[in-house]
Amino acid sequence: MDRQNLTLMTDLYELTMMQGYFKHKDQNETVIFDVFYRNNPHNGGYAISAGLEQVINYIKNLHFSKEDITYLAGLGIFEKEFLDYLDTFRFTGDIYAIPEGTIIFPREPLIKVIAPIMQAQLIETAILTILNHQCLIATKAARVCYAAKGDGIMEFGLRRAQGPDAGIYGARAAVIGGCTGTSNVLAGQLFDIPVKGTHAHSWIMSFPDEYTAFKTYADMYPTACILLVDTYDTLKSGVPNAIRVFQEMRQSGVPLTFYGIRLDSGDLAYLSKKARKMLDEAGFPDAVISASNDLDEYLIDSLKAQGAAITSWGVGTNLITSKDCPSFGGVYKLAAIMDTDGNFTPKIKLSENTEKITNPGNKTIYRVYEKESGKIKADLIALVDEVYSEDQPLLLFDPLAPWKKTRLAPGTYTLREIMAPVFRDGKCVYDTPKTMDIRAYCQKELDTLWDETRRLVNPHAVYVDLSEKLYDMKIDLLNRMSLQEGNV
């Protein structure tokens, strides 16, 4: 199978709708679709954009192979004329997106697709499966790293991931969110991210005794010597044997550049404090104490509060699966259709559930910062033809409670448009940064959040506001549709 060609990674109804458009509509009719999500994962105060590089690669390689068309013909539901069209199918539209590593909030477009309706319809499923996964894992990683308060977090969940792709791209997303490295060697190769690891309990069990296992490992890897000390007895055997090996390394002139112990079971707070005392008294105050064992942000936060002497954390299952919140909830909704004059007619989806009513039109997003602190004040979704100046007052209001208004005086705020062009006329115009560069950018983005928004429990919400022009358009559409349906 051509791994670059993921064209059939779609739901069947995308293709049946395409055939319907082919037969009954102008296949070149241009539309706008928005990708967005409705609620922050983990009941948190934010999320992180990730997965755009894979979306770009998917779009670049979008085509139906001969094998694809033969398979679709065998389903018996597609007509020959439509299959002939698929033989020459290529994406020719425009895509705008929020760059990877950017802080994001509910209801704002992460990706905007402007393309002929058949093309825009086909790519829905693939875009969602890529973004929903990586945004979720990047956000989880950022929360874990926040709980660690500057300690290094290593991702090592490959063996617990829901399949190879989840392990590979989950590792990438985790590094974007703040992890210092991964145990996943293939992810390291593909994305040029640091790979790290120690050894398993089986290494120690395969030797006649624990000391010999430690000594052999230290001889092989003297500049990355982290010894797993809980195979038999952490405080009576593991730590003393590790100290003995460190002493012998020092006596033989081996530089102790990166060394220490790893705890993988037991009361991590108690054991780490006892181990720290033993290492310090033996003359190894800079020895690393790392920990693993079903960690997540809540347990790490608790261990820090208990004074655990852990300085490095390995997080696996709960990170790579986002165990407490296994889905991101991104959706793909029609926002506008171009008329015969080349203007976009806004479209809106109604729902009994207020939060599921979509925002119509051709939109962009401005991030509003408090000038003095540089922290995020709010996000503003506006129509693309609207122009704002920091020299003018800015009115913000909650679209769900429009009587709640805030007026920002000139000179007290700054604005940044956060959507960037990615494809124009089917050609990629975006240079994807390296993963570690995205990580560095994400760390700067996280610094623009108030601590009240980053806290793990009951965070302060950052408001996503609508411009007055967009809000009026939305209300007008709602009123007109209500009249059409005879609801008023």
- Residue 136: HSE in the Cβ half-sphere, 13 Å Cα cutoff: 26
Fold assignment, 198-293: TIM Barrel (3.20.20)
What are the strands of the beta sheet with 152-155, ordered from one edge? 181-182, 152-155, 312-315, 288-291, 259-263, 225-228
- Nearest-angstrom CA–CA distance, 155 and 158: 8
pLDDT for the residue 400: 81
Helix (H) or strand (E) holding 314: strand 312-315
> Which 8-state DSSP code applies to residue 451?
H
Provide CATH code, domain 12-137+326-484: 3.20.140.10
Residue 419 has pLDDT above 90, yes or no: yes
- Nearest-angstrom CA–CA distance, 322 and 418: 27
Is the separation of the CB atoms in 102 and 22 below 8 Å? no
Q: Could you give the angle at the alpha carbon of 19 between the alpha carbons of 14 and 25, nearest 5°?
A: 110
Cα Rg of the chain, angstroms: 27
- For 336, residues 6+ apart whose C-beta sits below 8 A from its C-beta are 31, 32, 344, 345, 346, 347, 360, 361, 362
pLDDT for the residue 25: 87
Is the separation of the CB atoms in 103 and 376 below 8 Å? yes
What mean pLDDT value characterizes the chain? Answer: 95
Structure tokens at 6: 């993921």
**Position 2 confidence tier, pLDDT thresholds 50, 70, 90:** very low
pLDDT for the residue 187: 98
**Position 350 confidence tier, pLDDT thresholds 50, 70, 90:** confident
pLDDT tens string 14-34: 999 999 999 998 888 999 999
Neighbours of 197 (CB within 10 A): 15
* Domain limits, the chain: 12-137+326-484, 198-293
pLDDT for the residue 398: 84
Residues in the chain: 488
pLDDT tens string 389-407: 999 999 998 888 888 889 9
Q: Where are the alpha helices (DSSP H) in 8-79?
A: 12-24, 52-60, 66-74
pLDDT for the residue 51: 98
% residues pLDDT > 70 (the chain): 98
Neighbours of 447 (CB within 10 A): 11
Helix (H) or strand (E) holding 440: helix 435-446
pLDDT for the residue 368: 98
pTM: 0.96
pLDDT tens string 136-191: 999 999 999 999 999 999 999 999 999 999 999 999 999 999 999 999 999 999 99
pLDDT for the residue 122: 97
pLDDT for the residue 153: 98
pLDDT tens string 74-120: 999 999 999 999 999 999 999 999 999 999 999 999 999 999 999 99
- Nearest-angstrom CA–CA distance, 316 and 157: 4
pLDDT for the residue 1: 34
**Position 486 confidence tier, pLDDT thresholds 50, 70, 90:** low
> Which 8-state DSSP code applies to residue 152?
E
Residue 487 has pLDDT above 70, yes or no: no
